[in-house]
A = this chain, B = another copy of it.
Amino acid sequence: MNRFSFNQATAKYWPLPDVIEGCVTAGVRWVGLWREPVDEYGLARSAALVHGAGVGVSSLCRGGFFGADDWLDDNKRAIDEAATLGAPVLVLVCGGLTGRPLEAARARVAAGLEALVPYALDAGVRLAVEPMHPMFTADRSVVATLAGALALVAPFPPAAAGIALDTYHVWWDEQVFPLVAAAGDRIACVQLADWVLPLPADVLLGRGLPGTGCVEFPRFLAAVTEAGYGGPIEVEVFNAALWARPGEDILHDTIAAYEAVMASSRW
């Protein structure tokens, strides 16, 4: 449980102070935060809340979207917010095609990273490129594989640029385990969610708690450990049925799912 992190997106409608109180009560030491609810509660207030509660922020979601007009300013703000919250990692959802061919859109991501890396280094925040499932390539992230994410961050120091490994997005890749091994100290963030069928009408909300689908969690957890990752393990599940439940119940079931997965793992 020392490494478990509750990503607040798993309980989308649970107010931030309640999330923190719930985590403290349950003995959860880490949370993953999102910019919108932090902004809604107030950045300084949010930082004071988590610091006062003794809860660590494992990551902030999200920067990226390099095709947006204000991408540079917005990503700098996101880095500042992560620093204020004490989050060592800013997860980047790198944006879709927005009118460009795939290669050109990926080149835009590379250029965006290059522009942000010095700023991130100064702030002490690590950028984490998140490969997203290829069903989101057109509209959310042209980074669709772990191989593609690793290639994008390779030119930069590992302290400035790593990858966010979400099992939901990468489990289908026959190369994923060799790639996790190759990722080594580029692994900046680990998130668990399961792939469950059928896909819902809104495929964004199709994730399941670990253990409810087909992802091989024991193998993933062993692989990231063998690759040298020893940081927090977030559970981040977007699921409309889960979101409809009371926050305490969601947290309870998320902890239970995490513990069951850890108990069946080799580490």
- Kindly supply a per-residue 1/0 record for chain A positions 66-85, scoring 1 wherever the CB is within 8 Å of any chain B CB and 0 otherwise: 00000000000000000000
Q: Bound state CA distance, A133 and B103, in angstroms?
A: 19
Of A27-35, A166-174, A235-243, the stretch lying at the interface with chain B is A166-174
Of A122-130, A135-143, A246-254, the stretch lying at the interface with chain B is A135-143
A20 within 8 A of partner (CB) = no
Give the distance to chain B from A87, nearest Cβ to Cβ, in Å. 29
A159 within 8 A of partner (CB) = no
A201 within 8 A of partner (CB) = yes
Q: Which B residues are CB-close (under 8 A) to A103?
A: 174
A244 within 8 A of partner (CB) = no
A134 within 8 A of partner (CB) = yes
Interface SS of chain A:
loop
Q: Would A216 and B134 be within 8 Å (CB), given that A174-B145, A203-B199, A203-B203 are in contact?
A: no
Give the number of times this chain occurs in the complex, counting copies.
2
Q: Which B residues are CB-close (under 8 A) to A102?
A: 171-172, 174, 216
Interface pair A174/B138, CB less than 8 Å apart: no
Q: Bound state CA distance, A106 and B176, in angstroms?
A: 14
Q: How many residues of A contact B (CB 8 A)?
A: 30
Give the distance to chain B from A175, nearest Cβ to Cβ, in Å. 8
A26 within 8 A of partner (CB) = no
A101 within 8 A of partner (CB) = yes
Give the distance to chain B from A97, nearest Cβ to Cβ, in Å. 6
Q: Which residues of A approach B to under 8 Å, CB–CB?
A: 97, 101-103, 106, 133-135, 137-139, 142, 144-145, 147-148, 171-175, 195, 197, 199, 201, 203, 213-214, 216, 219
7 contacts between A and B (CB under 8 A): A101-B216, A102-B174, A106-B174, A134-B134, A137-B172, A144-B173, A201-B201
